Amino acid sequence: MTGVVYLVGAGPGDPGLMTRRSLELIAEADVILYDRLIPPNALDGARPDAELRYVGKEPGAAALPQEEINALLVELGRAGRRVVRLKGGDPFVFGRGGEEAEALAAAGVPFEVVPGVTAGVAAPAYAGVPVTHRDAASAVAFVTGHEDPAKGEESSALDWDALARFPGTLVLYMGIRTLPQIAERLVAAGRDPAEPAAVVARGTLPGQRVVTGALRDIAALVADEGVRPPAIALVGPVAELRDTIAWLERRPLHGEVVAVTRARAQASGLAARLQGLGAEVVETPAIRIEPRPLERELRAALARVSDYALVCLTSPNGARLLFAALAETGRDARALAGATVAAIGPGTAAELQRHGVRADVLPERFVAEALVEALASVPVEGRRVLVARAAEARDVLPEALRQRGAEVDDVALYETVAEPLGDDGRAALDRATYVTFTSSSTVRFLIGAGAELPPAARVVSIGPVTSETAREHGLTVDVEAERHDVEGLVTALVADAESRRGALA
């Protein structure tokens, strides 16, 4: 039985630039052979039982020689496996995908090629440099800078005289180590030493760095800046356009490293929002949400759910798990038809909306005390009320309703438990310039686990209750959201970052 080998380009680094086809194949693969420069989290969608093998090449070394990679692809294909050969950038642009395709074709193993966005186009674009421009460059040449120009023409596969005369943009891959010789060789062959040049390191990633200068000076400038691979070098008039159309560095959180401490299952929305604003996000989850089984107390509440005059939900987790519990007992949103439904904030209201329920009561401030105030006009005396929430939540809401004569069923749908941070998490936290806390539990469990925040990191709190917990644990709260939800937290963080930059300008 013969399998199929897919030679897949994973793009230049930004996970958002991976193609839909590449993600589909990763999710279906039996085996994935991956390189060093694939995007972060590129393998997250792989099947739990998929075999993941690193075959990347470090500068000056290889985890597996190319000939052995070729043989392994043939072996796996002949064994009937569905194989993804995952490469950074595009497999046919300095990715040795052509050699692998030749080996597969010679062995009669079926294969497909899935192109990816190549760094030679993407990195300059993220730096604000178009590789072609009607007024500045009508042609572009992609060149490997891996070979050493100092070895002389007889050992070079490149025609340096032709490259010096090339009437357009030169894009050089893998050329940081040999950049002094490349620049010298181009100038010696007739390229204008004053021609604009640029080097883009870690292109498309949050840590992207760009160095610009004249061709004659670019190597010295790169050395002074301590730029390291991976990087793309570019020579041509288009490099001058960076000053006009650079966009990545102008995003409000560019250069910031933001730690997200909320549960991993909830972190993606906040992380995506921060990344869209230019931040490098490190997920350092301090908590994990553990749904409670349908115990007697919860079963009893669900059995009489249609009897409740008021249903209060204090978090998106509570809303999501309430509907999951209803579904488990053969019910849906219609069970709440006769009740007034109250939500503590827009996140909870949005989760209700996803299940077809519009919140009747939504306070202006997103804390329990504000919800108590918002419910003042809702008659509850002598009526049954359901408060569905976390096991460790404060008792402000149920106690206030009981004082007004309500028959309150206070049901815990889930528990918030500690998520061990681990060495990688601590290392990520050490790099943070901002640390975000979205609940008191994220503070308690992170600091309680012995984690130490970087001295220069600024603490961002979602609201006053979380801030109070942070101070109780010895933290200084630098930023507190005025609107006590994720959007409010992001808004406050951005305002603080812009204020700091303005003060430094």
Q: How far apart are CA 434 and CA 440, in angstroms?
A: 17
Q: What is the Cα 35 distance to its own chain's centre?
A: 19
* Active site annotation includes 14: no
Helix (H) / strand (E) containing 368: helix 368-374
Task: Provide Rg for the chain, Cα atoms.
Answer: 28
Q: How far apart are CA 368 and CA 375, in angstroms?
A: 11
E strands of 190-317, at which residues?
196-201, 209-214, 231-235, 257-260, 280-283, 287-291, 310-313
Cis peptide before 420 (omega within 30 of 0): no
Is residue 170 a contact partner of residue 143, using CB atoms and an 8 Å limit?
yes
Cα dihedral sign, 13-16-20-26: positive
DSSP state of 133: B
Which residue is catalytic, options 14, 30, 35, 90? Answer: 35
As a three-state string, the secondary structure of 146-215 is CCCHHHCHHHCCCCHHHHHHCCCEEEEECCCCCHHHHHHHHHHCCCCCCCEEEEEECCCCCCCEEEEEEC
Is residue 468 a contact partner of residue 487, using CB atoms and an 8 Å limit?
no
DSSP state of 309: S
* Active site annotation includes 35: yes
Pick the closest to residue 68 from 33, 116, 29, 25 (CA basis). 33
Which residue is catalytic, options 14, 30, 44, 57? Answer: 57
Token pair listed for 288: 């994990």
Pick the closest to residue 39 from 52, 55, 22, 53 (CA basis). 22
Pick the closest to residue 254 from 3, 8, 437, 500 (CA basis). 500
Token pair listed for 107: 């062995």
Helix segments in 43-96, DSSP class H:
66-78
Which positions are catalytic? 35, 57
